[in-house]
Amino acid sequence: MAEPVIAQKGPYEVSVKEGKKYWWCACGKSLSQPYCDGSHMGSGMEPVQFKSAKTETLWLCGCKRTANKPHCDGTHGKL
C-alpha cells in the first residue's frame, strides 16, 4: 500500500457536534480536508469514521501519519 499524501504539515482545527458521525480522510487526496470526499477509491486506503462524544473543537491530523487517527499527535513536526 502506498503512503498517504501529506495534505498539510499541521492539524486542521474543526468544530464537531455531539452524536454526529464524521469520516476523516486517511489518504490525503480529498478536496474536502480533513474529511473524506471519496478520492481514496482504488488507493487501498479507507477513511476513518469517528463519532463525536460532545460538541467541541478538535485538531485532526493533516499530515496523515498520526498514530492516533484521526487526531493530531504532533508527527507533522518530524516531517
How does pLDDT run across 14-59, given as a tens digit for each residue?
Answer: 999 999 999 999 999 999 999 999 999 999 999 999 999 999 999 9
Whether the pLDDT of residue 1 is over 80: the answer is no
Residue spans per domain, the chain: 1-79
pLDDT of res. 2? 81
Between the CA of residue 27 and those of 1, 30, 33, 57, what are the distances in Å? 11, 7, 10, 22
pTM over 0.75: yes
Strands 12-16 and 21-24: unpaired
pLDDT of res. 78? 94
